[in-house]
Amino acid sequence: MKQQVLQRIEDRSAVIGVIGLGYVGLPLAMEFAKAGFRVIGYDVSERVASLLMRGESHIQDVPPAEVADLVRRGLFEATTVEARLSEVDAISIAVPTPLSKTRDPDMSYVIAAAEAATRQARRGMLVILESTTYPGTTREILAPALAKRGFHIGEDVFVAFSPERVDPGNPVYHTKNTPKVVGGITPACTELATALYASCIDTIVTVSSPEAAELVKLLENTFRSVNIGMVNEMAIVCDKLGVDVWEVINAAATKPFGFMKFTPGPGIGGHCIPLDPHYLAWKMRTLNYKTRFIDLASEINSQMPMFVVEKVAHALNADRKPVNGSNILVLGVAYKRDIDDVRESPALDVIRLLEESGATVTFHDPYIPSIREDGHVRAGTALTPAIVAATDAVVIVTDHSNVDYQMVMDHATVIVDSRNVTRDLVQTNARVVSLTTTRAALAASH
Ligand code: SAJ
């Protein structure tokens, strides 16, 4: 059976299914199709399936022309009909793994996808889970679903985990040129998953089990969360010592070995770094182990929005203005620079905290014209000299590249800069407050 699957991968006669056509699944589907496979993309969203079939794209990194070309050539089709998966020889599952309100894994999408793949599975099928999840998911959820239908993992059906490493908007790294880690339940599973991905991805890294592959992803993103947390704590330390944290970090970054630069900020956002480590923390709690680094990093990172809001209060206080009733412009609400994604963005916490203190808050983000909160839409404002001059404070939360910060400097009264993006501006009108501008320095600035 394994040889038959290998042959169909080699001669591209295999039909590939992708469940979940989001920022992970759609680029992957495109790579399989460009490698010459016929690809059936399955998504529960009728809107997504129909726009893709019209040759459009809802994913920033996937050009519509590429979708249109592959649809026209019959190499890619998108459907909401689950039964179409009965035509495929291999399935990659790339569905969301969010956290619940109590920060526990919400496995509902993975379970639904595993059940769909199982219903449509037939002998010889290869099923690979890509969604970031706790170690054990592949062996405890995906494999048993298939075994229940009488398949023997590694003999007549093959199962592996391969973490997604998609970095939306990254101008250099995309699906094809980012090394792909693969870990199968059995060596035959690993071999087939490796062969499949090797058909369209430049570098494959095999590991000995799905648990190892699941942990690789969690290590990668826990590494970031912990290091961002550490550098945010360094900002708090520098603030208490009256030292410029950016000067310290930039000087430390001159060390050519044994150091990796991270920068402090208003907290962490996105659908990876704030969430992924909690999958590991949750799993380890079930084994009565407390992952202290993860929990501490999360504690520090999640207090940064309040740290920024306190800086705003101190800056206004130096002008003898209360937060209550002040007119504050939040500049940049995306979760990181130069993208249009606001998920988990610390800017939302900064806005909420300021409004809870009675401030009138508006925002400007060149990538995000409006944000939806609790069912209502908050429109962004334009960024003009008059609007900036009318503020009591401008808070830079996200340091998008395409903003005229000098204009803001020329017209604002005070700028609270949580990203050190004003460091090279000509100091004209506004007072600049950084994460480590002390209260004493603020008071003295008047
Ligand atoms: N952040 C800091 N300081 C830093 C780095 C990031 O405050 O030094 C903040 C960002 O502003 C953002 C959050 O942390 O709010 C996460 O930033 P990120 O650079 O980790 O970006 P993400 O969330 O898009 O992470 C993705 C991840 N990719 C995958 O999971 C496949 C991550 O593993 C990548 O390393 C990261 O992109 C990247 O390097 O761009």
Please state, in angstroms and as integers, the Cα–Cα distance from residue 47 to each residue in 8, 57, 121, 142, 238, following that order: 32, 11, 26, 27, 49
Ranking 310-319, 351-360, 369-378 by mean pLDDT, the lowest is 369-378
Token match 């009138």: residue?
A: 360
Range 93-108 average pLDDT? 92
Q: Choose among 92, 85, 94, 89: nearest CA to 40.
A: 85
Ranking 157-166, 396-405, 434-443 by mean pLDDT, the lowest is 434-443
Please state, in angstroms and as integers, the Cα–Cα distance from residue 1 to each residue in 8, 282, 363, following that order: 11, 38, 58
The domain defined by 214-446 folds into Rossmann fold (3.40.50)
| Helices 276-286 and 292-318: angle between axes, nearest 10 degrees | 130
Ligand 1 site residues, Cβ closer than 6 angstroms: 164-167, 170, 220-221, 224, 228, 262-263, 265, 268-270, 272-273, 335-336
Distance 176 CA to ligand 1 centre (A): 20
Task: For strands 376-379 and 370-373, give the pairing.
Answer: antiparallel
Hey, whose CA ends up nearest to atom 20 of ligand 1?
273
> C-alpha dihedral over 372, 348, 273, 61, to 10 degrees?
40
Is 324 exposed, middle or buried, given 0-12, 13-18 or 19+ CB atoms closer than 10 A?
Answer: exposed
Maximum Cα–Cα distance across the chain: 79
Distance 38 CA to ligand 1 centre (A): 33
Range 149-156 average pLDDT? 95
Cα distance between residue 169 and residue 179, in whole Å: 17
* Residue type for position 107: M
Token match 């996808």: residue?
A: 113
Range 66-75 average pLDDT? 98
Distance 400 CA to ligand 1 centre (A): 15
Architecture category of domain 2-208 in CATH:
3-Layer(aba) Sandwich (3.40)
Tens digit of each residue's pLDDT (9 = 90 or more) over 370-398 = 999 888 999 999 999 999 999 999 999 99
Q: Which atom of ligand 1 is nearest to the CA of 232?
A: 7
Instruction: Tell me if residue 238 is catalytic.
Output: no
Q: Where in the chain is the domain with CATH 3.40.50.720?
A: 2-208, 214-446
Tens digit of each residue's pLDDT (9 = 90 or more) over 239-273 = 999 999 999 999 999 999 999 999 999 999 998 89
Which residues does 292 contact at the CB level (< 8 Å), separation at least 6?
none
